[in-house]
Structure 1
Amino acid sequence: MTSRQTAIPYLLILPSLVLAAAIIFWPVGSLIEIATNDVNRFGQLKGWNDFANFSALFANADFISALWRTGLWTVLVVGGALLVSVPVALILNEDFYGRDIARVILMLPWAVSLTMTAVVWRWSLNGESGMLNSALMGLGIISENVQWLASGDLAFAMQVLIGILVTVPFTTTIFLGGLSSIPQDLYEASALEGASRLQQFRHITLPLLKPFINIALVLNTIYVFNSFPIIWVTTQGGPANSTDILVTHLYKLGFRIGKLGEASAVSLIMLAILLVFTIIYVRLAMKEREA
Protein backbone atom coordinates (compact mmCIF):
# COMPACT_ATOMS: atom_id res chain seq x y z
CA MET A 1 0.00 0.00 0.00
CA THR A 2 1.40 3.39 -1.00
CA SER A 3 1.72 6.35 1.35
CA ARG A 4 -0.98 8.11 -0.65
CA GLN A 5 -3.44 5.27 -0.08
CA THR A 6 -2.56 5.25 3.61
CA ALA A 7 -3.24 8.97 3.93
CA ILE A 8 -6.66 8.88 2.20
CA PRO A 9 -8.64 7.64 5.26
CA TYR A 10 -7.07 10.35 7.44
CA LEU A 11 -7.87 13.02 4.87
CA LEU A 12 -11.50 11.86 4.75
CA ILE A 13 -11.96 12.22 8.50
CA LEU A 14 -9.89 15.41 8.77
CA PRO A 15 -12.88 17.81 8.38
CA SER A 16 -14.73 16.03 11.18
CA LEU A 17 -11.66 16.12 13.40
CA VAL A 18 -11.18 19.84 12.78
CA LEU A 19 -14.84 20.53 13.56
CA ALA A 20 -14.73 18.42 16.72
CA ALA A 21 -11.52 20.13 17.85
CA ALA A 22 -13.07 23.56 17.29
CA ILE A 23 -16.19 22.61 19.25
CA ILE A 24 -14.13 21.27 22.16
CA PHE A 25 -11.08 23.51 22.36
CA TRP A 26 -12.66 26.90 21.64
CA PRO A 27 -14.95 26.82 24.73
CA VAL A 28 -12.14 25.39 26.88
CA GLY A 29 -9.85 28.20 25.72
CA SER A 30 -12.50 30.76 26.62
CA LEU A 31 -12.93 29.19 30.05
CA ILE A 32 -9.18 29.36 30.70
CA GLU A 33 -9.14 33.00 29.67
CA ILE A 34 -12.05 33.94 31.95
CA ALA A 35 -10.78 31.82 34.87
CA THR A 36 -7.37 33.51 34.86
CA ASN A 37 -8.63 37.08 34.61
CA ASP A 38 -10.65 39.50 36.69
CA VAL A 39 -14.08 39.67 35.08
CA ASN A 40 -17.19 41.70 35.86
CA ARG A 41 -20.82 40.57 35.80
CA PHE A 42 -21.08 41.40 32.11
CA GLY A 43 -18.19 39.12 31.14
CA GLN A 44 -15.70 41.93 30.48
CA LEU A 45 -12.12 40.90 31.22
CA LYS A 46 -10.20 43.27 33.49
CA GLY A 47 -6.75 41.69 33.25
CA TRP A 48 -4.67 38.78 34.50
CA ASN A 49 -5.29 38.06 38.20
CA ASP A 50 -2.50 35.60 39.01
CA PHE A 51 -4.90 32.64 39.55
CA ALA A 52 -6.86 34.55 42.20
CA ASN A 53 -10.09 32.81 41.16
CA PHE A 54 -8.64 29.38 41.95
CA SER A 55 -7.21 30.64 45.27
CA ALA A 56 -10.62 32.04 46.21
CA LEU A 57 -12.28 28.72 45.43
CA PHE A 58 -9.99 26.61 47.58
CA ALA A 59 -10.35 29.12 50.41
CA ASN A 60 -14.14 28.76 50.20
CA ALA A 61 -15.59 26.12 52.56
CA ASP A 62 -18.71 25.78 50.40
CA PHE A 63 -16.60 24.81 47.38
CA ILE A 64 -14.61 22.23 49.37
CA SER A 65 -17.86 20.74 50.70
CA ALA A 66 -19.36 20.66 47.21
CA LEU A 67 -16.21 18.99 45.85
CA TRP A 68 -16.32 16.25 48.50
CA ARG A 69 -20.07 15.82 48.10
CA THR A 70 -19.75 15.49 44.32
CA GLY A 71 -17.40 12.54 44.78
CA LEU A 72 -19.76 10.92 47.27
CA TRP A 73 -22.76 11.60 45.01
CA THR A 74 -21.03 10.05 42.00
CA VAL A 75 -19.79 6.95 43.84
CA LEU A 76 -23.13 6.25 45.55
CA VAL A 77 -25.33 6.80 42.48
CA VAL A 78 -23.09 4.96 40.01
CA GLY A 79 -22.32 2.13 42.43
CA GLY A 80 -25.95 1.78 43.47
CA ALA A 81 -27.15 1.79 39.86
CA LEU A 82 -24.67 -0.96 38.93
CA LEU A 83 -25.68 -3.12 41.91
CA VAL A 84 -29.39 -2.76 41.13
CA SER A 85 -29.11 -3.07 37.34
CA VAL A 86 -27.26 -6.40 37.28
CA PRO A 87 -30.02 -8.46 38.96
CA VAL A 88 -32.72 -6.51 37.10
CA ALA A 89 -31.02 -7.29 33.78
CA LEU A 90 -30.66 -10.96 34.74
CA ILE A 91 -34.38 -11.17 35.51
CA LEU A 92 -35.42 -9.38 32.31
CA ASN A 93 -33.11 -11.63 30.31
CA GLU A 94 -35.08 -14.69 31.39
CA ASP A 95 -37.91 -16.00 29.21
CA PHE A 96 -41.18 -15.40 31.08
CA TYR A 97 -44.70 -14.28 30.27
CA GLY A 98 -44.91 -10.49 30.07
CA ARG A 99 -41.17 -9.95 29.71
CA ASP A 100 -41.59 -7.45 26.87
CA ILE A 101 -44.08 -5.42 28.91
CA ALA A 102 -41.73 -5.46 31.89
CA ARG A 103 -38.89 -4.17 29.70
CA VAL A 104 -41.08 -1.36 28.39
CA ILE A 105 -42.11 -0.37 31.92
CA LEU A 106 -38.47 -0.29 32.99
CA MET A 107 -37.53 1.91 30.02
CA LEU A 108 -40.36 4.43 30.49
CA PRO A 109 -38.57 6.57 33.12
CA TRP A 110 -35.64 6.89 30.72
CA ALA A 111 -37.94 8.44 28.11
CA VAL A 112 -39.11 11.17 30.49
CA SER A 113 -37.18 14.39 30.90
CA LEU A 114 -34.93 14.25 33.95
CA THR A 115 -36.15 17.68 34.99
CA MET A 116 -39.77 16.54 34.90
CA THR A 117 -38.85 13.44 36.88
CA ALA A 118 -37.20 15.63 39.51
CA VAL A 119 -40.31 17.86 39.65
CA VAL A 120 -42.50 14.82 40.32
CA TRP A 121 -40.16 13.63 43.05
CA ARG A 122 -40.08 17.08 44.66
CA TRP A 123 -43.86 16.97 44.85
CA SER A 124 -43.79 13.40 46.17
CA LEU A 125 -41.30 14.34 48.91
CA ASN A 126 -43.30 17.35 50.07
CA GLY A 127 -43.32 17.30 53.85
CA GLU A 128 -47.00 18.21 54.20
CA SER A 129 -48.90 16.83 51.22
CA GLY A 130 -46.38 14.60 49.48
CA MET A 131 -47.32 11.23 48.06
CA LEU A 132 -44.52 9.43 49.93
CA ASN A 133 -45.75 10.57 53.35
CA SER A 134 -49.32 9.68 52.43
CA ALA A 135 -48.30 6.19 51.30
CA LEU A 136 -46.16 5.51 54.37
CA MET A 137 -48.86 6.76 56.72
CA GLY A 138 -51.44 4.62 54.91
CA LEU A 139 -49.24 1.57 55.47
CA GLY A 140 -48.76 2.46 59.12
CA ILE A 141 -44.98 2.84 58.78
CA ILE A 142 -44.93 6.44 60.03
CA SER A 143 -47.35 8.26 62.34
CA GLU A 144 -46.54 11.84 61.32
CA ASN A 145 -45.26 13.64 58.27
CA VAL A 146 -41.52 13.50 57.56
CA GLN A 147 -39.81 16.61 56.18
CA TRP A 148 -37.74 14.77 53.59
CA LEU A 149 -36.04 17.82 52.12
CA ALA A 150 -35.71 19.97 55.24
CA SER A 151 -32.38 18.60 56.50
CA GLY A 152 -29.23 18.27 54.41
CA ASP A 153 -28.39 14.65 55.25
CA LEU A 154 -31.89 13.30 54.65
CA ALA A 155 -32.39 15.39 51.51
CA PHE A 156 -29.07 14.23 50.06
CA ALA A 157 -29.92 10.59 50.82
CA MET A 158 -33.23 10.95 48.97
CA GLN A 159 -31.48 12.62 46.04
CA VAL A 160 -29.04 9.70 45.84
CA LEU A 161 -31.97 7.26 45.74
CA ILE A 162 -33.62 9.28 42.97
CA GLY A 163 -30.32 9.36 41.08
CA ILE A 164 -30.05 5.57 41.31
CA LEU A 165 -33.62 5.06 40.12
CA VAL A 166 -33.22 7.28 37.05
CA THR A 167 -29.85 5.70 36.17
CA VAL A 168 -31.04 2.08 36.35
CA PRO A 169 -32.95 2.00 33.00
CA PHE A 170 -29.94 3.08 30.91
CA THR A 171 -27.57 0.80 32.83
CA THR A 172 -29.93 -2.16 32.56
CA THR A 173 -30.18 -1.62 28.80
CA ILE A 174 -26.39 -1.88 28.50
CA PHE A 175 -26.36 -5.08 30.57
CA LEU A 176 -29.21 -6.62 28.56
CA GLY A 177 -27.14 -6.05 25.43
CA GLY A 178 -24.21 -7.78 27.08
CA LEU A 179 -26.29 -10.73 28.30
CA SER A 180 -27.76 -11.26 24.83
CA SER A 181 -24.23 -11.60 23.44
CA ILE A 182 -23.31 -14.49 25.75
CA PRO A 183 -23.70 -17.87 23.95
CA GLN A 184 -26.29 -20.10 25.59
CA ASP A 185 -24.11 -23.10 24.83
CA LEU A 186 -21.85 -22.10 27.71
CA TYR A 187 -24.71 -22.33 30.19
CA GLU A 188 -25.91 -25.63 28.79
CA ALA A 189 -22.43 -27.15 28.94
CA SER A 190 -21.87 -25.92 32.50
CA ALA A 191 -25.27 -27.26 33.57
CA LEU A 192 -24.29 -30.69 32.25
CA GLU A 193 -21.15 -30.45 34.38
CA GLY A 194 -23.30 -29.80 37.44
CA ALA A 195 -22.70 -26.07 37.82
CA SER A 196 -25.26 -24.18 39.91
CA ARG A 197 -26.87 -20.90 38.87
CA LEU A 198 -24.58 -19.03 41.24
CA GLN A 199 -21.50 -20.74 39.78
CA GLN A 200 -22.67 -19.93 36.27
CA PHE A 201 -23.06 -16.29 37.26
CA ARG A 202 -19.60 -16.12 38.87
CA HIS A 203 -17.64 -17.96 36.20
CA ILE A 204 -19.57 -17.24 32.99
CA THR A 205 -21.93 -14.27 33.25
CA LEU A 206 -19.83 -11.90 35.31
CA PRO A 207 -16.53 -12.30 33.38
CA LEU A 208 -18.25 -11.98 29.99
CA LEU A 209 -20.32 -9.04 31.22
CA LYS A 210 -17.26 -7.17 32.48
CA PRO A 211 -16.69 -5.08 29.29
CA PHE A 212 -20.29 -3.87 29.48
CA ILE A 213 -19.91 -3.09 33.19
CA ASN A 214 -16.87 -0.99 32.31
CA ILE A 215 -18.84 0.89 29.65
CA ALA A 216 -21.67 1.55 32.10
CA LEU A 217 -19.17 2.66 34.74
CA VAL A 218 -17.50 5.23 32.51
CA LEU A 219 -20.65 6.63 30.90
CA ASN A 220 -22.57 6.81 34.18
CA THR A 221 -19.67 8.45 35.99
CA ILE A 222 -19.47 11.23 33.40
CA TYR A 223 -23.26 11.58 33.33
CA VAL A 224 -23.82 11.57 37.10
CA PHE A 225 -20.81 13.79 37.88
CA ASN A 226 -22.33 16.53 35.71
CA SER A 227 -25.95 15.86 36.66
CA PHE A 228 -27.77 19.10 37.49
CA PRO A 229 -31.58 18.66 37.47
CA ILE A 230 -32.12 16.33 40.45
CA ILE A 231 -30.19 18.42 42.98
CA TRP A 232 -31.36 21.76 41.63
CA VAL A 233 -35.06 20.99 41.21
CA THR A 234 -35.48 19.25 44.58
CA THR A 235 -33.47 21.55 46.88
CA GLN A 236 -31.44 24.03 44.77
CA GLY A 237 -28.45 22.87 46.79
CA GLY A 238 -30.11 23.73 50.10
CA PRO A 239 -30.81 23.89 52.90
CA ALA A 240 -27.83 26.21 53.53
CA ASN A 241 -25.85 24.73 50.58
CA SER A 242 -25.81 21.35 52.35
CA THR A 243 -26.72 19.38 49.18
CA ASP A 244 -24.66 21.38 46.68
CA ILE A 245 -22.46 19.51 44.23
CA LEU A 246 -19.96 21.16 41.92
CA VAL A 247 -22.36 21.79 39.06
CA THR A 248 -24.96 23.51 41.29
CA HIS A 249 -22.22 25.45 43.08
CA LEU A 250 -20.97 26.57 39.65
CA TYR A 251 -24.46 27.73 38.68
CA LYS A 252 -24.82 29.78 41.84
CA LEU A 253 -21.42 31.39 41.38
CA GLY A 254 -22.02 32.29 37.76
CA PHE A 255 -25.71 33.20 37.59
CA ARG A 256 -26.71 34.18 41.12
CA ILE A 257 -23.62 35.83 42.57
CA GLY A 258 -22.11 36.92 39.26
CA LYS A 259 -18.60 35.58 39.94
CA LEU A 260 -17.96 34.43 36.38
CA GLY A 261 -14.24 33.98 36.93
CA GLU A 262 -14.71 31.58 39.84
CA ALA A 263 -17.50 29.77 37.98
CA SER A 264 -15.15 29.23 35.02
CA ALA A 265 -12.49 27.95 37.40
CA VAL A 266 -14.98 25.40 38.77
CA SER A 267 -15.71 24.28 35.20
CA LEU A 268 -12.01 23.72 34.53
CA ILE A 269 -11.60 21.78 37.78
CA MET A 270 -14.53 19.54 36.83
CA LEU A 271 -13.04 19.02 33.37
CA ALA A 272 -9.66 18.12 34.92
CA ILE A 273 -11.25 15.60 37.31
CA LEU A 274 -13.12 13.84 34.51
CA LEU A 275 -10.02 13.91 32.31
CA VAL A 276 -7.92 12.28 35.04
CA PHE A 277 -10.62 9.64 35.58
CA THR A 278 -10.76 8.91 31.84
CA ILE A 279 -6.97 8.61 31.54
CA ILE A 280 -6.80 6.23 34.53
CA TYR A 281 -9.60 4.12 33.09
CA VAL A 282 -8.01 3.95 29.62
CA ARG A 283 -4.64 2.94 31.07
CA LEU A 284 -6.19 0.22 33.23
CA ALA A 285 -8.21 -1.04 30.27
CA MET A 286 -5.12 -1.17 28.07
CA LYS A 287 -3.12 -3.07 30.73
CA GLU A 288 -5.97 -5.53 31.13
CA ARG A 289 -6.15 -6.07 27.37
CA GLU A 290 -2.39 -6.60 27.14
CA ALA A 291 -2.51 -9.12 29.97
Structure 2
Amino acid sequence: MTANRSAVYFALLLLLPAVAYILFIVAYPLVDTVILSFTNAALRPKVDWVGWANYQKIFANSRFTEIIIRTIVWTICSVGLKMIIGTCGAVLLNATIPGQAIFRILTMPPWVVPMAIGIYMWGWMYNGQFGMISGLLQNFGITDGPYAFLGYPTPAFWSTIVTDVWIGVPIVTIYLLAAIQSVPKDLYEAAWADGAGRFYRFRRITLPLILPAMLTMSLLSLIATFNSFDIIWILTQGGPSGSTTTMIIDTFQTGIRSSKYGEGAARAVMICIFVSIFCLVYFRAVRRLSQGAAQ
Protein backbone atom coordinates (compact mmCIF):
# COMPACT_ATOMS: atom_id res chain seq x y z
CA MET A 1 0.00 0.00 0.00
CA THR A 2 2.82 2.38 0.90
CA ALA A 3 4.60 1.63 -2.36
CA ASN A 4 1.40 2.18 -4.37
CA ARG A 5 0.72 5.47 -2.59
CA SER A 6 4.27 6.63 -3.26
CA ALA A 7 3.89 5.78 -6.95
CA VAL A 8 0.67 7.81 -7.11
CA TYR A 9 2.31 10.79 -5.40
CA PHE A 10 5.27 10.56 -7.74
CA ALA A 11 2.96 10.46 -10.77
CA LEU A 12 1.05 13.50 -9.50
CA LEU A 13 4.34 15.31 -8.96
CA LEU A 14 5.32 14.65 -12.57
CA LEU A 15 1.95 15.95 -13.77
CA LEU A 16 2.19 19.10 -11.66
CA PRO A 17 4.13 21.22 -14.22
CA ALA A 18 1.63 20.37 -16.97
CA VAL A 19 -1.33 21.12 -14.69
CA ALA A 20 0.23 24.41 -13.61
CA TYR A 21 0.81 25.35 -17.24
CA ILE A 22 -2.80 24.59 -18.18
CA LEU A 23 -4.19 26.49 -15.20
CA PHE A 24 -2.08 29.64 -15.41
CA ILE A 25 -1.31 29.89 -19.13
CA VAL A 26 -4.49 28.50 -20.68
CA ALA A 27 -7.37 28.29 -18.22
CA TYR A 28 -6.90 31.56 -16.33
CA PRO A 29 -6.61 33.82 -19.42
CA LEU A 30 -9.59 32.06 -21.01
CA VAL A 31 -11.80 32.48 -17.94
CA ASP A 32 -10.66 36.07 -17.52
CA THR A 33 -11.50 36.81 -21.18
CA VAL A 34 -14.98 35.33 -20.78
CA ILE A 35 -15.60 37.47 -17.68
CA LEU A 36 -14.23 40.55 -19.44
CA SER A 37 -16.61 39.99 -22.36
CA PHE A 38 -19.57 40.70 -20.06
CA THR A 39 -18.23 44.13 -19.06
CA ASN A 40 -17.79 47.51 -20.73
CA ALA A 41 -14.07 47.59 -19.98
CA ALA A 42 -12.26 50.33 -21.88
CA LEU A 43 -9.92 53.23 -21.19
CA ARG A 44 -11.91 54.29 -18.17
CA PRO A 45 -11.32 53.71 -14.45
CA LYS A 46 -14.77 52.25 -13.84
CA VAL A 47 -15.85 48.90 -15.25
CA ASP A 48 -19.53 47.93 -15.22
CA TRP A 49 -21.19 44.59 -15.79
CA VAL A 50 -23.26 44.80 -19.00
CA GLY A 51 -24.31 41.16 -19.39
CA TRP A 52 -24.93 40.07 -22.96
CA ALA A 53 -24.77 43.59 -24.38
CA ASN A 54 -21.42 43.03 -26.14
CA TYR A 55 -22.68 39.86 -27.80
CA GLN A 56 -25.89 41.58 -28.84
CA LYS A 57 -23.82 44.29 -30.52
CA ILE A 58 -21.91 41.63 -32.41
CA PHE A 59 -24.98 39.86 -33.81
CA ALA A 60 -26.82 43.14 -34.45
CA ASN A 61 -23.98 44.25 -36.71
CA SER A 62 -24.51 42.91 -40.23
CA ARG A 63 -20.84 43.56 -40.95
CA PHE A 64 -19.85 40.87 -38.45
CA THR A 65 -21.77 38.26 -40.46
CA GLU A 66 -19.72 39.21 -43.51
CA ILE A 67 -16.56 38.91 -41.42
CA ILE A 68 -17.53 35.39 -40.30
CA ILE A 69 -18.23 34.27 -43.87
CA ARG A 70 -15.00 35.85 -45.09
CA THR A 71 -13.02 34.12 -42.34
CA ILE A 72 -14.53 30.73 -43.18
CA VAL A 73 -13.88 31.16 -46.91
CA TRP A 74 -10.33 32.39 -46.25
CA THR A 75 -9.62 29.43 -43.97
CA ILE A 76 -11.14 26.74 -46.20
CA CYS A 77 -9.44 28.00 -49.37
CA SER A 78 -6.06 28.38 -47.68
CA VAL A 79 -6.12 25.03 -45.87
CA GLY A 80 -7.45 23.24 -48.95
CA LEU A 81 -4.66 24.59 -51.16
CA LYS A 82 -2.04 23.77 -48.52
CA MET A 83 -3.22 20.16 -48.29
CA ILE A 84 -3.47 19.66 -52.06
CA ILE A 85 -0.10 21.23 -52.86
CA GLY A 86 1.53 19.67 -49.79
CA THR A 87 0.30 16.19 -50.70
CA CYS A 88 1.50 16.52 -54.30
CA GLY A 89 4.83 17.86 -53.09
CA ALA A 90 5.26 15.01 -50.61
CA VAL A 91 4.59 12.42 -53.30
CA LEU A 92 7.09 14.05 -55.66
CA LEU A 93 9.76 14.37 -52.97
CA ASN A 94 9.28 10.71 -52.09
CA ALA A 95 10.12 9.68 -55.66
CA THR A 96 13.60 8.32 -56.29
CA ILE A 97 15.19 10.96 -58.49
CA PRO A 98 18.70 12.47 -58.78
CA GLY A 99 19.22 15.36 -56.40
CA GLN A 100 16.38 14.29 -54.12
CA ALA A 101 18.04 15.78 -51.03
CA ILE A 102 18.45 19.16 -52.77
CA PHE A 103 14.78 19.32 -53.70
CA ARG A 104 13.81 18.51 -50.11
CA ILE A 105 16.03 21.30 -48.82
CA LEU A 106 14.52 23.76 -51.32
CA THR A 107 11.05 23.20 -49.88
CA MET A 108 12.06 24.62 -46.49
CA PRO A 109 12.92 28.33 -47.11
CA PRO A 110 9.30 29.60 -46.91
CA TRP A 111 9.02 28.00 -43.48
CA VAL A 112 12.58 28.74 -42.30
CA VAL A 113 12.62 32.42 -43.31
CA PRO A 114 11.15 34.61 -40.52
CA MET A 115 7.48 35.10 -41.24
CA ALA A 116 7.57 38.90 -41.18
CA ILE A 117 10.41 39.01 -43.72
CA GLY A 118 8.60 36.61 -46.05
CA ILE A 119 5.37 38.61 -45.80
CA TYR A 120 7.17 41.89 -46.52
CA MET A 121 8.77 40.22 -49.53
CA TRP A 122 5.33 39.29 -50.86
CA GLY A 123 4.13 42.81 -50.16
CA TRP A 124 6.86 44.16 -52.42
CA MET A 125 5.98 41.66 -55.16
CA TYR A 126 2.32 42.73 -54.97
CA ASN A 127 3.30 46.41 -55.26
CA GLY A 128 1.86 48.00 -58.39
CA GLN A 129 4.80 50.32 -59.16
CA PHE A 130 7.81 48.24 -58.16
CA GLY A 131 6.43 44.71 -57.78
CA MET A 132 7.72 41.81 -59.83
CA ILE A 133 4.26 40.35 -60.47
CA SER A 134 2.89 43.63 -61.86
CA GLY A 135 6.02 44.02 -63.99
CA LEU A 136 5.64 40.53 -65.47
CA LEU A 137 1.96 41.14 -66.26
CA GLN A 138 2.88 44.34 -68.09
CA ASN A 139 5.72 42.67 -70.01
CA PHE A 140 3.39 39.90 -71.23
CA GLY A 141 0.72 42.43 -72.18
CA ILE A 142 -1.83 41.12 -69.68
CA THR A 143 -2.24 44.54 -68.05
CA ASP A 144 -1.89 47.97 -69.63
CA GLY A 145 -0.16 49.51 -66.63
CA PRO A 146 0.82 48.97 -63.00
CA TYR A 147 -1.64 46.82 -61.06
CA ALA A 148 -1.70 47.10 -57.27
CA PHE A 149 -2.94 43.73 -56.07
CA LEU A 150 -3.41 44.97 -52.51
CA GLY A 151 -5.32 48.06 -53.63
CA TYR A 152 -8.50 46.25 -54.74
CA PRO A 153 -10.79 44.09 -52.55
CA THR A 154 -10.87 40.79 -54.47
CA PRO A 155 -7.18 40.69 -55.53
CA ALA A 156 -6.14 41.66 -52.00
CA PHE A 157 -8.20 38.84 -50.52
CA TRP A 158 -6.67 36.22 -52.79
CA SER A 159 -3.20 37.70 -52.41
CA THR A 160 -3.32 37.07 -48.66
CA ILE A 161 -4.40 33.48 -49.33
CA VAL A 162 -1.48 32.92 -51.73
CA THR A 163 0.96 34.28 -49.15
CA ASP A 164 -0.49 32.09 -46.40
CA VAL A 165 -0.29 29.02 -48.65
CA TRP A 166 3.34 29.80 -49.53
CA ILE A 167 4.24 29.96 -45.84
CA GLY A 168 2.25 26.87 -44.80
CA VAL A 169 2.97 24.41 -47.62
CA PRO A 170 6.51 23.38 -46.52
CA ILE A 171 5.49 22.06 -43.10
CA VAL A 172 2.54 20.20 -44.66
CA THR A 173 4.84 18.70 -47.29
CA ILE A 174 7.47 17.52 -44.78
CA TYR A 175 4.82 16.13 -42.42
CA LEU A 176 3.09 14.14 -45.17
CA LEU A 177 6.45 13.05 -46.62
CA ALA A 178 7.26 11.46 -43.26
CA ALA A 179 3.86 9.74 -43.31
CA ILE A 180 4.42 8.41 -46.84
CA GLN A 181 7.85 7.07 -45.93
CA SER A 182 6.30 5.11 -43.05
CA VAL A 183 4.15 3.09 -45.48
CA PRO A 184 5.57 -0.45 -45.79
CA LYS A 185 7.44 -0.96 -49.07
CA ASP A 186 6.13 -4.51 -49.32
CA LEU A 187 2.67 -3.20 -50.17
CA TYR A 188 3.98 -1.26 -53.15
CA GLU A 189 6.05 -4.19 -54.35
CA ALA A 190 3.08 -6.54 -54.14
CA ALA A 191 0.84 -4.10 -55.99
CA TRP A 192 3.53 -3.51 -58.63
CA ALA A 193 3.90 -7.27 -59.11
CA ASP A 194 0.15 -7.48 -59.71
CA GLY A 195 0.42 -4.85 -62.43
CA ALA A 196 -1.01 -1.89 -60.49
CA GLY A 197 -0.14 1.53 -61.91
CA ARG A 198 1.21 4.53 -60.01
CA PHE A 199 -2.16 6.24 -59.62
CA TYR A 200 -3.80 3.02 -58.46
CA ARG A 201 -1.07 2.44 -55.88
CA PHE A 202 -1.44 6.00 -54.64
CA ARG A 203 -5.22 5.75 -54.42
CA ARG A 204 -5.40 2.29 -52.85
CA ILE A 205 -2.24 2.20 -50.70
CA THR A 206 -0.70 5.60 -50.06
CA LEU A 207 -3.81 7.70 -49.58
CA PRO A 208 -5.65 5.40 -47.13
CA LEU A 209 -2.54 4.86 -44.99
CA ILE A 210 -1.59 8.54 -44.74
CA LEU A 211 -5.19 9.68 -44.22
CA PRO A 212 -4.83 9.94 -40.40
CA ALA A 213 -1.75 12.13 -40.86
CA MET A 214 -3.60 14.27 -43.41
CA LEU A 215 -6.54 14.75 -41.04
CA THR A 216 -4.25 15.70 -38.17
CA MET A 217 -2.31 18.13 -40.34
CA SER A 218 -5.49 19.66 -41.73
CA LEU A 219 -6.83 20.26 -38.21
CA LEU A 220 -3.61 21.91 -37.04
CA SER A 221 -3.45 23.99 -40.21
CA LEU A 222 -7.11 24.95 -39.88
CA ILE A 223 -6.68 26.24 -36.33
CA ALA A 224 -3.50 28.15 -37.23
CA THR A 225 -5.05 29.63 -40.38
CA PHE A 226 -8.29 30.61 -38.66
CA ASN A 227 -6.27 32.54 -36.08
CA SER A 228 -3.69 33.87 -38.53
CA PHE A 229 -2.96 37.52 -37.86
CA ASP A 230 0.53 38.42 -39.12
CA ILE A 231 -0.05 37.81 -42.83
CA ILE A 232 -3.18 39.90 -43.22
CA TRP A 233 -2.06 42.65 -40.87
CA ILE A 234 1.33 43.18 -42.49
CA LEU A 235 -0.03 43.06 -46.04
CA THR A 236 -3.33 44.95 -45.79
CA GLN A 237 -4.26 45.63 -42.13
CA GLY A 238 -7.72 44.31 -43.03
CA GLY A 239 -8.21 46.58 -46.05
CA PRO A 240 -8.98 47.76 -48.58
CA SER A 241 -12.51 48.59 -47.39
CA GLY A 242 -12.42 45.69 -44.94
CA SER A 243 -12.11 43.10 -47.74
CA THR A 244 -9.45 41.13 -45.84
CA THR A 245 -10.77 41.70 -42.32
CA THR A 246 -11.15 38.32 -40.64
CA MET A 247 -12.39 37.61 -37.13
CA ILE A 248 -8.95 37.86 -35.56
CA ILE A 249 -8.26 41.18 -37.33
CA ASP A 250 -11.65 42.52 -36.27
CA THR A 251 -10.95 41.46 -32.68
CA PHE A 252 -7.62 43.29 -32.68
CA GLN A 253 -9.08 46.43 -34.21
CA THR A 254 -11.93 46.49 -31.69
CA GLY A 255 -10.14 45.43 -28.54
CA ILE A 256 -6.68 46.96 -29.00
CA ARG A 257 -6.83 49.80 -31.51
CA SER A 258 -10.23 51.09 -30.38
CA SER A 259 -9.55 50.22 -26.70
CA LYS A 260 -12.96 48.55 -26.35
CA TYR A 261 -11.67 45.68 -24.24
CA GLY A 262 -15.06 44.26 -23.35
CA GLU A 263 -16.26 44.11 -26.96
CA GLY A 264 -12.88 42.77 -28.06
CA ALA A 265 -13.08 40.03 -25.43
CA ALA A 266 -16.55 39.08 -26.68
CA ARG A 267 -15.15 38.71 -30.20
CA ALA A 268 -12.29 36.61 -28.84
CA VAL A 269 -14.81 34.31 -27.16
CA MET A 270 -16.64 33.99 -30.48
CA ILE A 271 -13.38 32.90 -32.10
CA CYS A 272 -12.94 30.20 -29.44
CA ILE A 273 -16.48 28.99 -30.09
CA PHE A 274 -15.94 28.78 -33.84
CA VAL A 275 -12.63 26.94 -33.46
CA SER A 276 -14.27 24.52 -31.03
CA ILE A 277 -17.05 23.86 -33.55
CA PHE A 278 -14.44 23.16 -36.23
CA CYS A 279 -12.71 20.71 -33.88
CA LEU A 280 -15.96 18.90 -33.08
CA VAL A 281 -16.77 18.56 -36.77
CA TYR A 282 -13.25 17.28 -37.37
CA PHE A 283 -13.45 14.61 -34.66
CA ARG A 284 -16.85 13.44 -35.93
CA ALA A 285 -15.44 13.18 -39.45
CA VAL A 286 -12.47 11.18 -38.16
CA ARG A 287 -14.79 8.85 -36.25
CA ARG A 288 -16.92 8.22 -39.32
CA LEU A 289 -13.88 7.60 -41.49
CA SER A 290 -12.49 5.19 -38.90
CA GLN A 291 -15.78 3.32 -38.73
CA GLY A 292 -15.97 3.16 -42.51
CA ALA A 293 -12.41 1.84 -42.73
CA ALA A 294 -13.17 -0.77 -40.09
CA GLN A 295 -16.20 -2.00 -42.01
For this structure pair, what is the TM-score category when the shorter chain's length is used for normalisation?
over 0.9
Counterpart residue identity of residue 27, structure 1: P
Deviation at 1:117, TM superposition (A): 1.4
Counterpart residue identity of residue 91, structure 1: L
Q: Which residue of 2 aligns with 1:47?
A: 48
Q: Which residue of 2 aligns with 1:142?
A: 143
Deviation at 1:289, TM superposition (A): 4.3
Q: Distance in 1 between matches of 2:42 and 2:250?
A: 18
Q: Which residue of 2 aligns with 1:12?
A: 14
| Residue pairs, 1:143-222, within 5 angstroms | 143-222=144-223
Q: Which residue of 2 aligns with 1:22?
A: 24
SS at match of 1:38: coil
Q: Which residue of 1 aligns with 2:281?
A: 280
| Residue pairs, 1:70-149, within 5 angstroms | 70-149=71-150
Q: TM-score, normalised by structure 2?
A: 0.92
Deviation at 1:46, TM superposition (A): 1.7
SS at match of 2:151: coil
Q: TM-score, normalised by structure 1?
A: 0.93
Q: Distance in 1 between matches of 2:13 and 2:255?
A: 41
Task: Kindly provide the CA deviation profile for residues 236-284 of structure 1, in whole angstroms up to 9, marking residues without a partner as x.
Answer: 1111112100111111112222211111111111111112222332344
The answer for unaligned runs of 5 or more in structure 1 is none
Cα RMSD for the two superposed structures: 1.9
Contact 2:40 2:263 survives alignment (8 Å): no
Q: Distance in 2 between matches of 1:265 and 1:45?
A: 18
Task: Kindly provide the CA deviation profile for residues 168-197 of structure 1, in whole angstroms up to 9, marking residues without a partner as x.
Answer: 101001111101101111111101101011
Deviation at 1:285, TM superposition (A): 3.0
Contact 1:152 1:242 survives alignment (8 Å): yes
Identical pairs, percent: 31
Residue correspondences, number:
290
| Residue pairs, 1:25-36, within 5 angstroms | 25-36=27-38
Contact 2:238 2:249 survives alignment (8 Å): yes
The answer for unaligned runs of 5 or more in structure 2 is none
- Larger mean CA deviation between 143-152 and 163-172 belongs to 143-152
Contact 2:238 2:244 survives alignment (8 Å): yes
Q: Distance in 2 between matches of 1:81 and 1:153?
A: 20
Q: Distance in 1 between matches of 2:6 and 2:94?
A: 46
Q: Distance in 2 between matches of 1:65 and 1:115?
A: 27
Contact 1:228 1:247 survives alignment (8 Å): yes
Contact 1:36 1:49 survives alignment (8 Å): yes
Task: Kindly provide the CA deviation profile for residues 118-152 of structure 1, in whole angstroms up to 9, marking residues without a partner as x.
Answer: 11111111112211111222344433222211211
Q: Distance in 1 between matches of 2:14 and 2:55?
A: 41
Deviation at 1:229, TM superposition (A): 1.3
SS at match of 1:48: coil
Q: Distance in 1 between matches of 2:166 and 2:21?
A: 36
Q: Distance in 2 between matches of 1:134 and 1:280?
A: 44
Q: Distance in 1 between matches of 2:28 and 2:289?
A: 34
